[in-house]
Structure 1
Amino acid sequence: MARNTTGKIVETLTYDEASRKNIPTAEYQSVMRQEEQSPIRVACERRNRDLDPQLVWRGKDEQDWSDLVVHAPPLYIQEKVHPKVLIDDLIRCAKTRGKAEYQQLDLFADFNGLPDDNAKTEFYQHDANWSNRMILGDSLQVMASLSEREGLRGKVQCVYIDPPYGIKFNSNFQWSTTSRDVRDGNVDHITREPEQVKAFRDTWRDGIHSYLTYLRDRLTVARDLLADSGSIFVQIGDENVHRVRALMDEVFGDENFVSQIWFRKKTMPLGANLLEQMGDWIVHYARRKESIKFRRLLTLSSVEGDNHWNIAVFESGLTRKLSRLEVDNHKAVNEDFDPAQLISMSPIGYSPHRVFSVEVNGKKFQPARGKSWKTDELGMQRLNRAKRLVYYEDGERLRYLLRHSDYPTTPISTTWVDTSAPSEMRYVVETSLKPIQRCILISTDPGDLVLDPTCGSGTTAYVAEQWGRRWITIDTSRVALALARARIMGARYPYYLLADSRDGQLKEAEVTRTAPSEAPTCGDIRQGFVYERVPHITLKSIANNAEIDVIWEKFQETLEPLRAKLNKALGEQWEEWEIPRDAWDNWPDKAKDLHAQWWKQRIARQKEIDASIAAKADYEYLYDKPYEDNKKVRVAGPFTVESLSPHRVLAVDENDELIDSLAEPAAGYGEERDFVRMILENLKTAGVQQAHREDKINFSSITPWPGHFVCAEGRYTEGDEDSATEKRAAIFIGPEFGTVSRPDIVAAAREAGDAGFDVLIACAFNYDAHSSEFNKLGRIPVLKARMNADLHMAADLKNTGKGNLFVIFGEPDIDILDAGDGQIQVKINGVDVFHPNTGEVRSDGADGIACWFIDTDYNEESFFVRHAYFLGANDPYKALKTTLKAEINEDAWATRCTVTPRGRSTSPKAGALPSKSSTILAMR
């Protein structure tokens, strides 16, 4: 049997009309001008404190003496990821059974858009193609950089913030990409990753006072990014919702408050001593309420059990009253029907020209004394022909038949009970899709920009991608970004029909019963999708629908002769409304046949009139129900992974010497003295943590040291109590914004050796790729501790010594294999971890690595993820694997979970084949 070659087409969305500033990649840091590398001081105006009542907390008066001043360092692109390229590569691998030579295509042109090659190094001066963004760093500084350096002030349509609720450790913190089980006080759950903001209550220097300062600063910067029509949503628990509401009144003005939404978070009560809280809150403010963009969302309504809807309308157009039992249980009616109710035909006012006699089913009706009809004579005739005029059994009062299908929806309110948490959570504080989805859909259109300063598991980015919104998401946690990156890379979305496409035009014509548009199309997503819609049928729309007359007259040409023949066969004089629905048993066969024909035409007429009413009436879009193209499947569009500090990669020759002739900038910026003093204070309290608890270094003293690279001497005890010896550590501190290079560490190690130190401890937010290979200089061991991004907020966070502010990382152990014909393969063996007490290197296996990436055509300008392998993390391609089972076989899927890549690459001219890894504990 021949294999079915017809399969899914893999597509993605691009934003051709949108652009972003050309920012440097990590590789380009060395060619940046000094003023481009140095942080910019950005002042954000606070609201006038005299305008309205405000919340007061410790230290606020002092802060309000000036505007909020934020450092805005440059952002650096670390990785460029195009999920469609990875899927296309797997499809190509499946078709060729892995035997065809890998083709290096220019599949990453979507990231370019620059006018020429020279523009690549002219940062912030040119616009490049838009790509979505995932940024590692403190959201305050990142948002300031986006606003000041990249001109995004006033360009963001929606901001969604899910800040720490300020409650307990395990509500905000996750230590591993494969486990959400976080237990307070469990030493095994000490993080290995360096930039996790643990904003639970007792880490704030002044408790709730610091927390409010933290949140107000970020709300202030986010406010400046919002467009005038933009909205901001803050998700918060009931513990702090009242404070957040007062805080947002201050930042945005109480006149810009929109709503406070309660949404259900738990599926069932878990047991509480007092009343149990089942959900959280979302506080919604507008940038300017008078200009807000708002798209109303509708939910299908049910009238079962509502005694007002006590009329059944059947397919034939006939009606009958429902019993109380049938009202409460529609299934008790054995035939499909549309619930309806009878409402008055008289308006509130009085119109003399709408006082006339109306005949319905042989009975004549006049409006009540002092009243008039709601429409004119022609309109009443159309209502009658549409079977919308019904009289009570007493025959005295004429009523309008309002059908539930006329408007079967209700707008969503501020209480959402259908939003329970996801059954398979990826992150310890992951939010259900539906609350975020609703917030984005009511406040944005396709192509608009959504910002989430609290990435978490990437739910906001995931939802924004699904609905065709551009997105930027920020987090200080590598665990969070590792989860979010894998989630977006493996996401599968339905392919929604674009309004600006030929298929979209045809679908729109089908839905609206009009001729297809012949306008040229270009796939502009800003024109939206083709949405399902619900009619909003009103009495007025039926009365003004002239097509009802055309349909009526057309069917009368068939129905009237059939009625005449039926009357003749039975010897009756029945009018249309008198013909029974079911034929009598004693009728002759000819009469039964005529009766069946007549009712068939009668039902067809009613269906056509109903269809015309629905098509000609006003309608409302269901913005959460676009039409899908089932022949296509969509994956995420191109996105970049960025950070405040570049993890630079420099080219080296065969002797591992730097080829780059430009010197690395000095490891220090700006207000160095205050920064160094703050780092030393925290280092004394927190110590230096390794992956294993027994490896922690606790300092007995730290004193300043007058060196060029070494700034302090730290003393600590090595060994157990019986054999303890005191060691002297030289401490080298890297820049507040920037990367420490190998030459810096080598120079610091030499200085430490000359001064007689036992070990060098380097503390930095980031290290370049080649410094990771440097662990020892002669007798001097070199320990490289990554500093936690919490230290950017040191003024707010309490120095408790429990924050893992300085963490020593292991490095990936890789082998370069000769694949023959001048080609190579890379094998990843695991992670090497240095043990400070013994000076030995421990090796952990490859199962400790969540994912690793390879650029098989590295150009020393950008790292493109051309191959992605997932070893220890949950499989991000699970959904796509099911959808594309006809296009990609099991063998091809299996190549994603290997320590040796499926492809081969030509040996690079300088340095090793670029690769990056992320362990289960989110190390790079």
Structure 2
Amino acid sequence: MAQKKRNPTIPVESLKHKDKRANIPTEELRDFVKEDENHPEKVLYPRDPSLDPQLVWNGKDEQDKQDLAVPSVPIYIQEKIHPQSLIEDVRRTVRKEAPAQANLFADFNGLKFEEMIDFYRHEANWANRMILGDSLYVMMSLAEKEGLKGKVQMIYIDPPYGIKFGSNWQVSTKKRDVKDSRVEDVTRQPEQIRAFRDTWERGIHSYLSYLRDRLVVSRELLTDTGSVFVQIGDENVHLVRSLFDEVFGSENSCGLIAFVTTGGVKQNLLANRFDFLVWYARDIERIKYRQLYFEKVPELGTAATYTWVEMPHGTRRGLTSKEKNKVESLPDEAKRYRAGNITTQGNPEFPFTYQGKTYIQPWKTTETGLRRLGFSNRLHVAANSLGQVNYLDDFPVSEVTKLWTDTFLGSFAEPKIYVVQTSQKNIERCILMTTDPGDLVLDPTCGSGTAAYVAEKWGRRWITIDTSRVALALARTRLMAARYPYYYLADSPEGIKKETEITGKIPPEYKTQNDIKKGFVYKRVPHITLKSIANNPEIDNIHAKWQEKMEQVRAKLSGLLRKSWEEWEIPREAEDSWSKDAKKFHQEWWELRKKRQEEIDKSIAHNADHEILYDQPYEDKKRIRVSGPFTVESLSPHRVLATDEEIPVSEKEGRKSAGSGQFETMILENLKKAGVQNTIKNEHLYFERLEPYAGTWIQAEGEYTEKDGAVHRVAVSIGPEHGTVGPEMVKEAAKEAVKGVGFDLLIVCGFAFDPHVSEEAKRYGQLTVLPTRMNADLSMGDELLKKTGAGNLFMVFGEPDLEIKKIKGGQITVEVKGLDIYDPTTGEIRSHSTDDIACWFIDTDYNEESFFVRHAYFTGADQPYDKLKRALRAEIDEAAWAALYTTKSHPFDQPTTGKIAVKIINHYGDEVLKVYEV
């Protein structure tokens, strides 16, 4: 039986950047971080009140009494993701092939272990970055600890346009319809609560303080050629421009770009159809700028002025009204043109004779230039003047200006996954105008990850930041599953071949390295100008070469017809009454004229300038490209600082009503009243006694009684008011709980937990450690607490219930059976459903140094791999793709390390990491 022919493999590739990045710690290697990192230095950015005319707002004087001081805190890597590896793994599974020998995850480090744990002193391979945390802290860390000051080419900031309560918060990956007035839509994430309560406490006044601090750090991060854009509505655009003038200097303003939004906001007066991009340069004298172009559409814009037509046989006339309105179409080879002005004020007048008539004008060019225009048939004869024939194809594009009217189209074409998703076209233009492939783009307002997605598409490096776990969960999924066009690299054999095809020039041989910084192979358009024609001496030679032949034929034609026709007087069509010889010479003359014109046109095109279309690189449609390697990171949990001395003045106002002692007292009062609940109704742990405890990590101790009457001692540790509980805190609290007195149960309360906490919580033998999530309403004041009630203020969430099986051939599968729910009334654990799981990842060879996402399953996503599935349908069947949306993994080999790690993420962005020996 003949063997079934296997479908050819479609290359799946990603771009590799030769740049390096600072070697920062992973969460697994946190114990190797030097002790002095626990006390990060504050970095001062001086404020200068003598700069441009400045805004004054409530609280600014207090802010300006001291320099901007922000602690330089470390950033920790949580995950390392290589989408190319994920797709290749699925393909190998379908083909039943052995794992690849080449390890794609080696792209991340390139360091020996002893170098890897010597943080900030060595450089690792570049990987793009997705960072959870306050953008001010993150940007400061990038600038000061990681040496990115002066290294970022472009920054795109998309802050809230107005100061509304729910203006940019999405609480779940499943729900986009956020309303300002609905309590159930209030964010449940501590970093965002801080953004609301601390940052927006004074409305627009706090907003200006917030933005100014980030602009100050942005200026330090930018290269001398760099740009920063802030997307803003008409409500605050004038204030934002004033802030920019203060920080960057008014001399570095690049203007205001207005772009059409998807729909006008209904107002009592005129509806608003535009939002704005405020654009400033680090140094306008050195700014990097690439001109972009619109295609000229004959019925719109400047192309509408092309009201003349040259017919295929050479005659010219004006467009009819039906042709202008597209009721009637032009012949295929007809060429639209406009009569351009070739005179200018200030030049001396001189006579020029064309087709037997003399014109005296202050011409833009010399007599030689005018003669070449005539030789090229590029002069348009009006009643008493001449104009230049400018064909639409001479320059088929027009420059992009500061008014973008096509942006609403892009918004409708893009699927919206986040409540405030920025139009892709806006960011795309900004990136293409001000960066080159390989440059670094920073987005401190990640949202759905549009800036990162666009930067990846166009071969730029990127760093994106957000305070929202939901935003990063959506962005991570989007980047992991994205498919991009594969553009020809200029520094590649295929790119050189393509460039040769376009230009007709063979470059000198050299060894290519696929260096992205050398750019792509771009389409070009001709830019034929008066100057390029007037200064082209080839036209004289071509005209003279053909003129001798044409004159001989014209003389014979004139002799037969007894006419003394000049060249421009010879009719296009022969008359029926002419002799056979006359018709023959007439046809021959026009054929010679056509050949002369073709050669002149070719010379004009060859000697004309060309404009590069930076938004139109050539695509290799036989290849598929996915996102390059990237990391998911966060500020070190214990570094999200909570004291007044350690946060910027601009963000202190919301703190003055509640010190840390008051916060702990409020938490304990509510904990005593509400108890601890799991996700099952009527299963609570109620305290018979709960009192303050003078410990370092433990703030309260108490007792509770189980159903069987057994009394247990409880210790309570309260996490930061604005931040994440990390494994270090759990470790220290547990050590304190097992000393001396001895507790049976440790409740660690936090608004959010690092995914490694679940691993830390299972290490303490007889001491049961319960990570207990506090309802975010506890940070939002009495009004929300009244609406929430006491029923679900302190929740014990489920741990994943996993089944790990060894199958035939020694391979392993992992299945998520559900979530293990702790019953605080009995101390027992029961299984619950997997409905809350958004996605889950496996590191199938966990080395306890980094978590590599080697398998990814999106149980709660809307089929993010759909585009890749269509592209690879011949190689990967429907069943293999469907397996990526289930709770059971496909088989993988025994890990060389003997361990696997599984990370589970719910729809609220909460993460749990579990490590297993197999």
Per the alignment, in what secondary structure is the counterpart of residue 290 of structure 1?
coil
The Cα shift of 1:543 comes to 1.4
Does residue 739 of the first structure (1) align with residue 726 of the second (2)? yes
**Matches of 1:889 and 1:559, distance apart in 2:** 67
Shift of 1:19: 1.0
Residues 260 and 179 (structure 1), Cα distance of their counterparts in 2 relative to 1, 3 Å cut? same
**Alignment deviations for residues 646-703 of structure 1 (CA, whole Å, 9 cap, x no partner):** 799xxxxxxxxxxxxxxxxxx9999899985375267469879976898999999997
For 2:474, which of 475, 483, 486 is the aligned residue? 483
**In the alignment, residue 170 of structure 2 is paired with which amino acid?**
Q
Q: CA deviation at 1:149?
A: 0.6
Q: Are the aligned partners of 1:166 and 1:200 in contact in 2 as well (CA < 8 Å)?
A: no
Residues 403-412 or 771-780, more deviating? 771-780
State whether structure 2 residue 854 is matched by structure 1 residue 859: no
| Aligned residues of 2:761 and 2:770 also touching (Cα < 8 A) | no
SS in structure 2 at match of 1:289? coil
Q: Does residue 1:138 correspond to 2:98, yes or no?
A: no
Tell me if the contact between 1:37 and 1:74 (Cα under 8 Å) persists in the aligned partners.
no
| Partner-residue secondary structure (3-state), 1:622 | strand
Equivalent pair of 2:265/2:273 in contact (CA under 8 Å): no
8 A Cα contact 1:458 1:484, kept in partner: yes
Q: Residues 786, 503 of structure 1: CA spacing in aligned structure 2 closer, same or farther, 3 A cutoff?
A: farther
Q: Is residue 716–residue 726 contact of structure 1 (8 Å, CA) maintained in 2?
A: yes
Q: Which amino acid letter does the alignment assign opposite residue 11 of structure 1?
A: E
Distance in 1 (alpha carbons) for counterparts of 2:283 and 2:457: 27
CA contact 1:823–1:904 (8 Å) conserved in 2: yes
2:373 matched to 1:383?
yes
Amino acid at match of 1:140: L
Paired amino acid for 2:15: L
Report what 2:416 is aligned to: 425
Displacement after TM superposition at 1:85 (Å): 1.5
Aligned residue number for residue 913 of structure 1: 900
> Counterpart of 2:807 in 1: which secondary structure?
strand
Map 1:504-515 onto structure 2 (within 5 A): 504-515=495-506
Q: For residues 715 and 411 of structure 1, what CA distance do their matches in structure 2 show?
A: 74
Equivalent residues, number = 879
Contact persistence 1:203–1:800 (CA under 8 A): no
Whether the 8 Å CA contact 2:719–2:725 is kept in 1: the answer is no
Partner of 2:716: 730
SS at match of 1:518: coil
Q: Deviations over 1:616-671 (max 9, x none)?
A: 222322221122222222211111111112799xxxxxxxxxxxxxxxxxx99998
The answer (yes or no) to whether the contact 2:311–2:331 under 8 Å persists in 1 is: no
String of CA shifts for 1:342-387, please: whole Å, max 9, x gaps. 34444434458xx4653x44x142424xx4x443444333212211
- The CA distance in 1 between the partners of 2:53 and 2:670, in whole Å, is 40
User: CA 1:717/1:52 → structure 2, altered by over 3 Å: closer, same or farther?
Assistant: farther
- Structure 2 residue aligned with 1:281: 276
Query: How is 1:796-835 mapped onto 2 (pairs within 5 angstroms)?
Result: 809-820=797-808, 822-834=810-822
What is the rounded CA distance, in whole Å, between the counterparts of 1:375 and 1:909 in structure 2?
77
Distance 1:468 1:908, change over 3 A: closer
> For each residue in 1:735-759, what CA deviation from the matched residue of structure 2 results, as whole angstroms up to 9, or x when unmatched?
9787224543533554798479896
SS in 2 for 1:914: strand
Query: Cα distance, 1:871 vs. partner?
Result: 1.1
2:650 aligned residue: none
Distance 2:425 2:264 in 1: 20
Aligned to 2:85: 85
Partner of 1:221: 217
Partner of 2:261: 265
Q: Which AA in structure 2 matches 1:43?
A: L
Equivalent AA in structure 1 for residue 309 of structure 2: A
Contact residue 40 and residue 73 of structure 2 kept, 8 A: yes
User: Aligned residue for 1:122?
Assistant: 118
Deviation per residue, 1:138-193 (Å, 9 max, x gap): 11111111111100011111111111234434431112213312245656546565
* Worse overlay, 881-890 or 127-136: 881-890
Structure-1-length-normalised TM-score: 0.84
Whether the 8 Å contact between 1:873 and 1:920 is mirrored in structure 2 is no
CA offset digits 1:30-68 (Å, max 9, x no partner)? 12211234433221222x113233222232212211111
Q: Does structure 2 conserve the Cα–Cα contact (< 8 Å) formed by 1:739 and 1:768?
A: yes
Answer yes or no: is the 8 Å Cα contact 1:256–1:285 preserved in 2: yes
Alignment partners' CA distance in 2, 1:714 and 1:612: 92
Q: Distance in 1 between matches of 2:474 and 2:569?
A: 69
Q: Kindly indicate whether the alpha-carbon contact (under 8 Å) linking 1:263 and 1:419 is maintained by their aligned counterparts in 2.
A: yes
1:775-811 alpha-carbon deviations (Å, 9 max, x no partner): 99869672433797x99xx9xx988656999875433
The alignment partner of 2:620 has SS state of: strand
2:296 equivalent in structure 1: 301
Please say which of residues 602-611 and 696-705 is displaced more in the overlay.
Answer: 696-705
Please tell me the residue identity of whatever aligns with 2:369. G
Structure 2 CA distance for aligned equivalents of residues 584 and 700 of structure 1: 116
- Residue 387 (structure 2) aligns with: 399
Kept after mapping to 2: 8 A contact 1:752/1:759: no
For 2:900 and 2:148, locate their aligned partners in 1 and report how far apart those are by CA, in whole Å. Answer: 36
Asked if residue 314 in structure 1 is aligned to residue 311 in structure 2, the reply is yes
Contact 2:490 2:520 in 1 (8 A): yes
Structure 1 residue aligned with 2:837, among 849, 858, 868?
849
Q: Does 1:51 align with 2:51?
A: yes
Q: Is the 8 A contact 2:807 2:813 kept in 1?
A: yes
Whole-angstrom distance in 2 between the partners of 1:699 and 1:475: 37
In structure 2, C-alpha distance between the alignment counterparts of 1:197 and 1:533, rounded to whole Å: 50
Match of 2:72 in 1: 72
Partner amino acid for 2:13? E
Native 8 Å contact 1:26 1:77 kept in 2: yes
The whole-number CA distance in structure 1 between the counterparts of 2:441 and 2:210 is 21
Which region of structure 1 is more displaced relative to structure 2, 55-64 or 147-156? 55-64
- Higher relative CO (Cα under 8 Å, sequence separation at least 6) belongs to 1
1:237-268 alpha-carbon deviations (Å, 9 max, x no partner): 233323322222222222322222222222x4
Q: Distance in 2 between matches of 1:311 and 1:71?
A: 66
For residues 591 and 308 of structure 1, the distance between their equivalents in structure 2, rounded to whole angstroms, comes to 40
The SS at the match of 2:900 is coil
State the distance in 1 between where 2:877 and 2:548 align.
61
Q: Deviations over 1:792-847 (max 9, x none)?
A: xx9xx988656999875433221221225554321112333446577665644334
State the one-letter code of the partner of 1:919.
N
CA distance in 2, matches of 1:325, 1:715: 90
Alpha-carbon distance in structure 1 between the residues aligned to 2:554 and 2:662? 96
- Asked if the contact 1:315/1:337 (under 8 Å) is kept, the reply is yes
2:391 & 2:512 partners in 1: Cα distance?
Answer: 39
1:22 partner amino acid: N
Aligned runs of 1:443-458 on 2, under 5 Å? 443-458=434-449
Local SS of the residue matching 1:145: helix
User: CA 1:784/1:513 → structure 2, altered by over 3 Å: closer, same or farther?
Assistant: same
Note if contact 1:55-1:246 (Cα within 8 Å) is conserved in structure 2: yes
The correspondence for 1:890, drawn from 864, 878, 885, is 878
Contact 2:225–2:283, Cα closer than 8 Å, also in 1: yes
Q: Which residue of 2 aligns with 1:367?
A: 360
Give the counterpart of 2:530 among 535, 539, 564: 539
* Shift in Å, 1:326: 3.8
1:247 to 243, 247, 251: 243
Identical amino acids, percent of aligned pairs: 48
Amino acid at match of 2:52: D
Segments of structure 2 that go 5 or more residues without pairing to the other structure are 648-654, 912-918
Q: Cα RMSD (Å) of the superposition?
A: 4.3
Query: Does residue 525 of structure 1 match 2:521?
Result: no
Gaps of 5+ in 1: 649-666, 720-724
Asked whether the equivalents of residues 260 and 275 of structure 2 are also in contact (C-alpha less than 8 Å), the reply is yes
Q: Is the 8 A contact 1:72 1:148 kept in 2?
A: yes
Offset at residue 133 of structure 1 (A): 0.5
Question: Any idea what SS the aligned residue of 2:53 has?
Answer: coil
Look up the SS of the partner of 1:873 in the other structure. Answer: coil
Check whether the contact 1:299–1:411 (CA below 8 A) recurs between aligned residues: yes
8 A contact 1:758–1:781 mirrored in 2:
yes
C-alpha displacement of 1:597 = 6.4
Quote the residue 2:465 is aligned against: 474
What is the aligned partner in structure 2 of residue 923 from structure 1?
910
